[in-house]
Amino acid sequence: PPNNSKNGFSSSTTIKSFINLDQGDPMLFKEYWRKMSEKCTVVIKGCELLSYLSDLGNVCWFMMPELREAIKRLHALVGNADTNDKYIVVGNGSTQLFQAALYAFSSSSDEPMNVIAASPYYSEYEEQTDILHSGVHKWSGDAMKYDKNEAYIEVVTSPNNPDGSIRGPVVNNKKCESEGKLIHDLAYYWPHYTPITHKANHDLMLFTFSKCTGHAGSRIGWAIVKDKEIAKKMTKFIQMSSIGVSKESQIRVAKIIEVLCDIYENFKCSGSSKETELFFELSKCLMKERWEKLREVIKQSNDFSLPKFPKAYCNFTNESSETYPAFAWLKCNKDDDCESYLEKKLKILARGGTRFGSDPRYARVSLLGKAEDFEEFLKRLSIDMN
């Protein structure tokens, strides 16, 4: 990384190196999994998991039955999504499933289907949609501005990445008479990030293990799908794209979910688990603590501002609380380019607002990083304000 000596600080406070808060690499949860490390251990022998096939009787033939059961159990525990009478499709992260969903919703139309999301939207949707200049779908930008009389797919991300807001579809159906399909990206609809206010029950919901427990290296996501034909098309897309999903990851994720759920069951039924072993409660404390510290620093000046979130009652934790998003959607009040300001002035790598179809005065900063990076981030903000 370049060394910029004109950073405006006195030598005693010179910022030595960059901290990368651009990606949402979920290192925050590692400490918890270190404690549960032995319990979650999987052992895979040389002759296991050879076949391409997992479950030929099921629509998603490459999904291992134990993972399907674990995912259903997890949603039943948390109460964040209804899996009854629905199809579950596993993917190489929810990224692949997003593209599978676009394919499934668009493949029967003659014209490229419009793909939209309300700004600020997840920075990668646009490129994931358009990377191959597909003739079946195309990115059509901000859903708030959508006024074509053409079929569309609206992506609803809730809580939203980057700004943490709770969202529903926004296309005005009176204005747009064409058929709209919805993809609900619920990557952050877990109790450590936001109150679980209802059991989501949409046509197509995406989840990812990366943001649920922090196991991003496993590349496991899943879709919960109402319509069998859509689930079949998604399965076909993943077959064409990668002939399925790593079985090693599938059995490991199943194991980790089982351990997580067992701890809750043992806590409720026999008291043989301790409160400090409950993953979501513990992780919510971490998120809350980071948000409180960050708000404390921000309120010392008018240089930056943060979104505010309403309180809501969480059916899982049985308490009323705010949303504690995985990212801070930071607004810079003294510079028109927040990303560039953070980079040049504070050597903090963040993702600027334009990447999210929004204002460059905003930038997204990951709050899921290592403790030392988060503390250093707060320190640099404080120094900057003084």
| Cβ contacts of 270 within 8 Å, gap of 6 or more | none
DSSP state of 243: S
Q: Which of 21, 78, 155, 216 binds its own copies (CB under 8 A)?
A: 216
Instruction: Tell which positions 290-309 bind its own copies, by CB under 8 A.
Output: none
CA distance 279 to 78: 11
355 near its own copies, rule: CB under 8 A: no
CA distance 379 to 108: 53
Q: Which is nearer to its own copies, 125 or 304 (CB)?
A: 125
CA distance 384 to 375: 14
By CB atoms closer than 10 A (0-12, 13-18, 19+), residue 47 is exposed
26 near its own copies, rule: CB under 8 A: yes
Q: 105: which 2 tokens?
A: 């919703």
Q: Residue 360 CB: number of other CB atoms within 10 A?
A: 17
Q: Which of 6, 16, 133, 308 binds its own copies (CB under 8 A)?
A: 133
Give the shortest CB-115-to-its own copies separation in angstroms. Answer: 12
357 near its own copies, rule: CB under 8 A: no
245 neighbors 90 (Cβ within 8 angstroms): yes
235 near its own copies, rule: CB under 8 A: no
Q: 43: which 2 tokens?
A: 């052992």
Terminal-residue alpha carbon distance, the chain: 26
95 near its own copies, rule: CB under 8 A: yes
Give the shortest CB-48-to-its own copies separation in angstroms. Answer: 8
Report helix, strand or coil for 237: helix
99 near its own copies, rule: CB under 8 A: yes
65 near its own copies, rule: CB under 8 A: no
128 near its own copies, rule: CB under 8 A: yes
CA distance 350 to 365: 5
Q: Which is nearer to its own copies, 129 or 358 (CB)?
A: 129
219 near its own copies, rule: CB under 8 A: yes
Q: 55: which 2 tokens?
A: 């479950």
Q: Which of 3, 108, 242, 300 binds its own copies (CB under 8 A)?
A: 242
Give the shortest CB-100-to-its own copies separation in angstroms. Answer: 10
Binding region for its own copies (CB under 8 A):
23, 25-27, 29-30, 33-34, 36-54, 91-93, 95-96, 99, 103, 124, 127-128, 131-137, 210, 214-220, 237, 240-249, 252, 256, 259
